[in-house]
Structure 1
Amino acid sequence: MRFTEEFRDPKAAKALLKEINKVVDEIGATKEKPVHIMEICGGHTHAIFRYGLDKLTPAGIEFIHGPGCPVCVLPMSRVDECIELAEKPEVIFTTFGDAMRVPGTKKSLMQAKAEGADIRMVYSPLDALELARRHPEREVVFFGLGFETTTPSTALSIQQAAREGLTNFSVFCNHITVPPPIKALLDDPHMVLDGFVGPGHVSMVIGTHEYDFIAEDYGKPIVVAGFEPIDLLQSVLMVLEQIRDGRAEVENQYGRVVPEHGNAVSKAAVADVYEKRPTFEWRGLGEIDESGLRVRDVYKAFDAEAKFGIGYSAESRHVEEPEGCACGAVMTGRMKPMHCPQFGTGCTPEMPLGALMVSSEGACAAYYQYGGARAIEAAE
């Protein structure tokens, strides 16, 4: 448990909470006029509720749960396109498990699998590559989904397929990037945000300078954070201290993992394989310019959209959310999960209506898992 126990030390947590309370008092934040801090990463959202940090921190802090889950922000139209691909008789469709139950307009991948589509859960795109080697008579499609954290592995897999000449392997690319939606949120006149807890895993790949615009252009502090309770408490304290001191900087609390300039090998692979899309739809946020990635023409043979004639055309195919689903409002911080009329009734982990209840990093799943009936009672 080395490098873990020290970040869960109760004495250290109490000391940090004492400092947090002190700075909150110095700022003059109260329950009626709180400091709004958005944690961008869904992993941070779950850690906050798992360790009860939302209850341990003073009432003068309000956590806003950002769109930090790639499964959660995937629009329903793209789920429908996944199913369209998976139901082709020549295709073996491979995906990470957390995407299996995300509902499309008619069904999920799990339901399509039950109806006979050859859909297989894998742990990495390398598993999909191996399937392509073993089944040269079939088309193996990997569902490339995720932020900058998972993008390099997919890029490296495409490079490997090109070297081997595995022409029966392709990627349905839905990789997205974190900075553009942050900018979209900051440009939203209805959003009230005082600072950010920045994503740890994403920053491990891209470094910290991708967030400079938050401090320089918008005057908001951001602290890249780890995932243990001490990490998060220290990061919140660092954000609060910046606000108290009138500073707006990019700070790195997670220095033991996140290098300033990111991972050069990963960034080079991504730059070689992918280019920015002109626009991409985010569930709850709408179209955001240059926020999604697509496979470059030089690797077109491994692009499922080009190979099967599916996916984004000149205009995206927008699909409205199911009636009563408030995923968009929750992801943009305009509503807490328990205030959604479907939370815990029409939408549960067993029968999810929206992606935020499906994903292991979704805010609704976090509220349900760690609050359960108490969260529902609080809403009532």
Structure 2
Amino acid sequence: MTAGGPADSGADELTFRDPERADALRARLESLVDRADDSIRIVHVCGTHEQTIAEFGLRSILPDGLTVAMGPGCPVCVTDSAEVDEAVTLAESGKLVATYGDMLDVPGGDRSLAAVRDAGGDVEVVYSAADAVSLAAETDQEVVFFGVGFETTAAPTASVLRNDPPANFSVLSAHKYVPPAMDVVAAHPNTRVDGFLAAGNAATITGTEVFEPIAGTHDLPVVVGGFEPLDVLYALVELVEAIADDEPAVVNAYPRCVSATGNQAAQTALWDVFERVEGEWRGIAAVPDATLAIRPEYAAYDARERFDIEVDRDSETTECICGDIMAGHAAPRECPLFGEECTPASPVGACMVSDEGPCRIRQTFGEVRQ
């Protein structure tokens, strides 16, 4: 389709911060939007895309008639409060719970993992499932890895379970699988989606072919994009061109990292260990086939099978509209708690916790950064 991506200069070296190319892509966007029959609304499904868009002020150069909204692309934000409560319960019962740093302040129904740690519970920050395995190898205490994230973190979690971890190691899986959530967003009557900008990092695992059913079912294009400012602009050009041409195609705008079939070894590990089941995406819906549960063959390492964990499954904070924000139905400024009761220092909802959360990003960079 359109030439002019970050890797399309013909030079030996990739260039990502080129104002002239950015201006050319902006001009191309403007001409394509003018060509379209109506205004265009694109939904992206990656918190890192939102970070790039906000930090570099890309919305300030988008043409009138083009809206780019964030969908369910922050794994911390869509981790259900009941899943947080399970981790809290395990930590309170004497288990060592290891998880990523941005999960500590995510509120559950009553307490966060940070609150449990402040009260003397064993909660450790790790950077990977492998780090949690190392903790288990150094202690006789039960170590539970609270596994959160999409395909990019689920595949490494699967890998450690296939590699005979210590007997005192288990996983509390809150891993999610993105494509079915995109189906839910596209089909929702309150969400207008003319095209999806898909996450290049997850697509390194899944490949681009996984998005073909979404494009076909909903008759809209899906473009896989990278994370540099020029990557995002180039992917938006590809999307708007496909929309203007009424072409529901799947386009790879991140070919330096993503292929059609993805990482086959990672997929083998992922689907050997996990199966897709229905599960709650925080505040959005119970999404079919979008939660990754540990298969019975690995039940010895499944914290839910190993321990008695009883939590309230209906403990969501009612005032928070994080679910509507993640589903693309609302903007952070529409939440009555935003910037007042809910801030990065004192988050009420999960969208204000993570660096990939839309509320935290909006609080950090403002409504439209120039």
TM > 0.5? yes
Partner in structure 2 of residue 184 of structure 1: 184
Provide the secondary structure at the position in 2 that maps to 1:291.
strand
2:325 is aligned with what amino acid? V
Indicate yes or no: 2:336 matched with 1:341: yes
CA positional deviation for 1:15: 0.4
Partner in structure 1 of residue 3 of structure 2: none
Residues 1:280 and 1:323: Cα distance change in structure 2 (over 3 Å): closer
Which of 128, 144, 149 is the equivalent residue of 1:141?
144
Mapping for residues 361-372 of structure 1, pairs under 5 Å: 361-371=356-366
CA positional deviation for 1:324: 2.3
Indicate yes or no: 2:326 matched with 1:327: no
CA positional deviation for 1:4: 8.8
Which of 116, 121, 127 is the equivalent residue of 1:123?
127
2:36 is aligned with what amino acid? I
Contact 2:108 2:316 in 1 (8 A): no
Partner in structure 2 of residue 36 of structure 1: 41
Partner in structure 1 of residue 264 of structure 2: 264
Mapping for residues 349-364 of structure 1, pairs under 5 Å: 349-364=344-359
Please give the root-mean-square deviation of Cα atoms over the aligned residues, in Å.
1.8
Once residues 308 and 6 of structure 1 are traced to their aligned partners in structure 2, the CA distance between those partners, rounded to angstroms, is 51
Contact 2:187 2:218 in 1 (8 A): no
The unaligned stretches of length 5 or more in structure 2 are 1-6
Once residues 109 and 295 of structure 1 are traced to their aligned partners in structure 2, the CA distance between those partners, rounded to angstroms, is 23
Per mean C-alpha deviation after superposition, the further-off stretch among 244-253 and 185-194 is 185-194
Q: TM-score, normalised by structure 1?
A: 0.91
1:241 is aligned with what amino acid? E
Which of 9, 31, 45 is the equivalent residue of 2:50?
45
Q: TM-score, normalised by structure 2?
A: 0.93
Provide the secondary structure at the position in 2 that maps to 1:183.
helix
Question: Structure 1, residues 186-220: CA drift from partner, whole Å, max 9, x if none?
Answer: 22122111001111111000001111012211110
Partner in structure 2 of residue 6 of structure 1: 15
Contact 1:129 1:161 in 2 (8 A): no
Once residues 219 and 182 of structure 2 are traced to their aligned partners in structure 1, the CA distance between those partners, rounded to angstroms, is 13
Once residues 234 and 364 of structure 2 are traced to their aligned partners in structure 1, the CA distance between those partners, rounded to angstroms, is 25
Once residues 4 and 296 of structure 1 are traced to their aligned partners in structure 2, the CA distance between those partners, rounded to angstroms, is 44
Provide the secondary structure at the position in 2 that maps to 1:359.
coil
Once residues 54 and 106 of structure 1 are traced to their aligned partners in structure 2, the CA distance between those partners, rounded to angstroms, is 37
Provide the secondary structure at the position in 2 that maps to 1:150.
helix
1:297 is aligned with what amino acid? P
Once residues 59 and 117 of structure 1 are traced to their aligned partners in structure 2, the CA distance between those partners, rounded to angstroms, is 52
Residues 1:311 and 1:288: Cα distance change in structure 2 (over 3 Å): farther
Contact 2:135 2:143 in 1 (8 A): yes
Contact 1:47 1:227 in 2 (8 A): yes
Partner in structure 1 of residue 164 of structure 2: 161
Provide the secondary structure at the position in 1 that maps to 2:78.
coil
Partner in structure 1 of residue 296 of structure 2: 297
CA positional deviation for 1:319: 2.2
Question: Structure 1, residues 222-271: CA drift from partner, whole Å, max 9, x if none?
Answer: 10000011111111111111111111100000000011101011011112
Per mean C-alpha deviation after superposition, the further-off stretch among 211-220 and 249-258 is 211-220
2:304 is aligned with what amino acid? E
Indicate yes or no: 2:28 matched with 1:19: yes
Indicate yes or no: 2:100 matched with 1:92: no
Contact 1:4 1:228 in 2 (8 A): no
Residues 1:6 and 1:65: Cα distance change in structure 2 (over 3 Å): same
Partner in structure 2 of residue 378 of structure 1: none
Question: Structure 1, residues 137-165: CA drift from partner, whole Å, max 9, x if none?
Answer: 21011011110010111111111235xxx
Count residues with an aligned counterpart: 359
